[in-house]
Amino acid sequence: MSATIQTGALGRSADAPRPRALLFDRRRRRNAYAAYLFLAPGFLLFALVILYPIARAFQISLYEWSIVPGATSRFLGLENYDRALHDPVFWRSLGNTGFYMAVTVPTQIVLGLAAAVLLDARMPARGLFRALYYLPVITSWVVVSLLFRYLFMTDGGLVNWVLHDGLHVIDHNVQWLGSRWTAMTAISVLGIWKGVGWSMVIFLAALQGVPRELYEAAAVDGAGSWRSFRGITLPTLLPVVAFVTVMLVIGGFNVFISVFLITNGGPLDQTQVLLTYMYRQAFSFLDFGYGSALSFTLTLIVFALSLAQLRIFARRGAA
């Protein structure tokens, strides 16, 4: 919020040429110069590893691209994008990516917030529990993906064993990874398990910033814990919820390793997500033009979604 006010003031100062303001303006420019200088290394890195690849990916997406240096590539214009719009597997991967996001993002926020509030209270072994919840975040995606694949095996998998032999809630072993929605569910469960710790830590940090006096005042006024949570904790945490949401949505759209290692898009491309499908086109079929068109489309979607979310949260005075 404060950043928006400042830029607004800077824009207005130009059409008010009073002597004091001019002096102020010059100093401000010198400050700006220093700021740009300090920003330069970061920007350079950003340009090199983000901007350049994005521009390059867009260029490649317009061609039937040959990866050999010096070879000529055939210009296709927007044909690769048109192909994506008519590709049923592209739409299915978009749907699967959307499903993954819709399932994992809200769950991670709710569970993360719940864990944070619980572990913010004074209790024995608090540090231990915090570490335990955070542990999945720092484990390798590769290791836990393989682990989940074994957990969800049809015969001999722990999940089926518990449901069938342990709890007797199913009468035959479920083929979790054998069809679209059950496999996507298994992959989403992994995403949630692995991500809750991250949102918990962010919320925990934010909770430290909530003034204790507010709770005390609320308690004096007779508010219960749920009332305090709704009236104090939640509103104060709203900007953090916004941040976590934006980050999780971006992360959700970029789901790759777990799908790649658990189902690799199978069976019959039923569980392809945007990135695994892009990867197959580019690195298995060496169709880098189409692969780039897919990844550029993904970039546009994520960009538009992030922008929309920031707008929504800004309007509600949260960002």
Show the binding pattern over residues 238-267: x = contacts another protein (CB under 8 A), - = does not.
------------------------xxx-xx
Say how far residue 23 (Cα) sits from the centre of its chain: 44
Pick the closer one to another protein by CB: 87 or 269: 269
Q: Determine the Cα–Cα distance for residues 56 and 62; give it in Å rounded to an integer.
A: 10
Q: Interface with another protein includes 79 (CB under 8 A)?
A: no
* Nearest distance in Å: CB 126, another protein: 38
- What is the nearest approach in angstroms of another protein to the Cβ of residue 267? 4
78 part of the interface to another protein, by CB under 8 A: no
Residue 156 sits in the site that holds another protein (CB under 8 A): yes
The SS3 of residue 272 is coil
Of 47-55, 161-169, 250-258, 307-315, the segment contacting another protein by CB under 8 A is: 47-55
> Closest distance between another protein and the C-beta of residue 83, in Å?
13
3-state SS assignment for residue 307? helix
**How far is the C-alpha of 96 from the C-alpha of 250, rounded, in Å?**
15
Report CA 284 to chain centroid distance, whole Å.
26
C-beta closer to another protein: residue 102 or 286: 286
* Cα separation, 109 vs 129, whole angstroms: 18
Q: Which is nearer to another protein, 152 or 203 (CB)?
A: 152
Burial of 273 by CB count in 10 Å (0-12 exposed, 13-18 middle, 19+ buried)?
buried
Tokens found for residue 52: 């350049």
Residues in the interface with another protein (CB under 8 A) total 40
Closest CA to 88 of 228, 279, 268: 268
The whole-angstrom separation of Cα 103 and Cα 190 is 11
Considering beta carbons, is residue 28 or 230 the nearer one to another protein? 28
* Positions in the binding site for another protein (CB under 8 A): 29, 32-33, 36-37, 39-40, 43-44, 47-48, 52, 66-69, 71, 149, 152-157, 175-178, 183, 262-264, 266-269, 283-286
